[in-house]
Amino acid sequence: MTVCIACGSTKVEPFLDLHETTLANKFLAPEEIGAVEPRHPLVVGFCPECSHVQLTHLVPPAAMFEDYLYISSLSKTLVGHLHGLAATVIERFKLGADDLFIDVGCNDGTLLSEAKRRGVRILGIDPAKNLAPLAKKNGVDTLVAFFGTETAAKVVAEHGKASVVTATNVFPHIPVLDDLVKGLDVVLKPGGVFVAEAHYLGDLLDACAFDTVYHEHCSYWSLHAAQYMFQRHGFEVVDIQRLPIHHGQLRLFAMRKGEGQPTAAVATLLAEEVKRGMTGIECYRAFAKRVEAIREELHAAFAGFKAAGKTVVGYGAPAKGNTLLSYIGFGPEQLAYIADKSPLKQGRVTPGTHIPVVGPERLLADQPDYVLLLAWNFADEILVEQAEYRARGGKFILPVPEVKIV
C-alpha cells in the first residue's frame, strides 16, 4: 500500500507505469556485468487528497545516498546558482554573525562556503560519508546524518537554533517527510525560514520530461502538495520563485503559520495549477498518453533506420537516460554505444540495458547517421559542441517533449 508522502493518505492512484528498472545511477564497470542487478517497479501515482505526485514503490534512501557521486562544484552553473541562493537568503533575512545557517544535503559545501564568506555561522548536514571531507576542504563542517527530529535536537543542543535552513534538490529524494518538517520546527528559531528547491511538476509536464522519473526522485512537487504538507505541520509557504536551472525548479520559502506574510506569487501559482488541471488526475493521465506516444514514435523511427541500414548511437549518460532506455526497451542492439564527457562513466555500461559508454570523440571518428540525445536538457550546448558532426551530415534525435530530428 502506498502512503502519500505529503499528506499520509493511502489513496495514491497510479497513472504512469515505466516498468521495472535498475537504480538509474548504478553504471556498471566491466567486471560487474553479469552480476544480479536488483530491479524495482517505477510507477508514478497521484494523491486525490492533496494533489501530490510521487512514486508508488519507494526504495530505501540508504541504498542510494550514503555514497554519492554527484558533486555540486563540478558544474559551474550550479556553483553560481548556489552562491546566488546564499546571497539572496542572507540579504533578504538580514543574517549576521549571530545567525546560524543550516544546509540539509549540503553535498560538498558549495552553498555554505559562500554563506561563511559572508560572515554567517554555518552547519552542513548530509548523509553521504564520502562528501564530508570535500565539504571540510571548502571550510564547511558537516554532520553526517539524515535530517529529522533527532538530528535537529542534537543540533540545537550543540549549536543553538537556526535562522535559516536550506535544502536544495533534497526534498524530492526523501520518502518520509513528516519527520523532516517536524525537525524544522525543532531547529528553527521563531521567525526562522526554511528554503527548499526542487524540480517543479509544472515544468516536468511542459517538457514531457518523464525521464526525470527515477527511484532517487520519490516526489514531483507542485505548490499545492507542498502547501498542503507544510500546513499539516503548522507551517505555510510564504513565497515562491520559479527558476530555470535543471530545466525548471521551484524555490519555496516556508515559515511557521503566522510568522510571515504570504506574497501574491503564492496565490498566483496556486491558481495557475488549478487552471492547468494539476489538482485532478485527468491531467496526469493525459501526460501518460504523451509518454506512450513518444515510445511509439521512437520505435517507428528506429524501425525505419534499421530498414534503411542507418547507424544510431546515443549521446549523454545522465541517470535519467536510463529511465528512457529502459522504458523504451532500447539496448546495445538499438544504440551501439553512448558518448559522454564524464570520465567516471566512460568504460562502464548503462545499468540494466548494458550499453557501453565511450568518449564523445567517437562521434567524429565513426560518423554514425543518427544520435539519440539522452541529455536533452543540455541540447543547446551539445549541438554547438557537435557542430562538426552535424556539418558532416550527422543528425540528432531529441526525444522530448515530442520526437524531433535536427
For Zn ion, the binding residues (CB under 5 A) are 4, 6-7, 9, 47, 49-50, 52
**Considering beta carbons, is residue 50 or 82 the nearer one to Zn ion?**
50
**Considering beta carbons, is residue 4 or 86 the nearer one to Zn ion?**
4
Residue where the block lists cell 531547529: 187
**Considering beta carbons, is residue 106 or 252 the nearer one to Zn ion?**
252
Q: Kindly state the smallest distance separating residue 279's Cβ from Zn ion, in Å.
A: 11
**Considering beta carbons, is residue 2 or 113 the nearer one to Zn ion?**
2
Euclidean distance between CA atoms 82 and 245, whole angstroms: 11
Contacts of 296 (CB under 8 A, 6+ apart): none
* Measured CA distances, 89 to 96, 181, 200, 215 (Å): 11, 19, 20, 31
Euclidean distance between CA atoms 348 and 44, whole angstroms: 29
Q: Kindly state the smallest distance separating residue 233's Cβ from Zn ion, in Å.
A: 14
Q: Kindly state the smallest distance separating residue 232's Cβ from Zn ion, in Å.
A: 10
**Considering beta carbons, is residue 265 or 281 the nearer one to Zn ion?**
281
Q: Kindly state the smallest distance separating residue 46's Cβ from Zn ion, in Å.
A: 9
Contact between residue 126 and residue 105 where contact means Cβ atoms under 8 Å apart: yes
Residue where the block lists cell 498566483: 268
Q: Kindly state the smallest distance separating residue 200's Cβ from Zn ion, in Å.
A: 18
Distance between start and end Cα atoms, the chain? 44
Contacts of 84 (CB under 8 A, 6+ apart): none
> What are the residues facing 398 on neighbouring strands?
404
Contact between residue 406 and residue 216 where contact means Cβ atoms under 8 Å apart: no
> What are the residues facing 253 on neighbouring strands?
195, 239
Q: Kindly state the smallest distance separating residue 6's Cβ from Zn ion, in Å.
A: 5
193-231 burial: b if 16+ Cβ within 10 Å, else e: bbbbbbbbbbbbbebbbbbbbbbbbbbbbbbbbbbbbbe
**Considering beta carbons, is residue 6 or 317 the nearer one to Zn ion?**
6
**Considering beta carbons, is residue 52 or 81 the nearer one to Zn ion?**
52
Q: Kindly state the smallest distance separating residue 129's Cβ from Zn ion, in Å.
A: 33
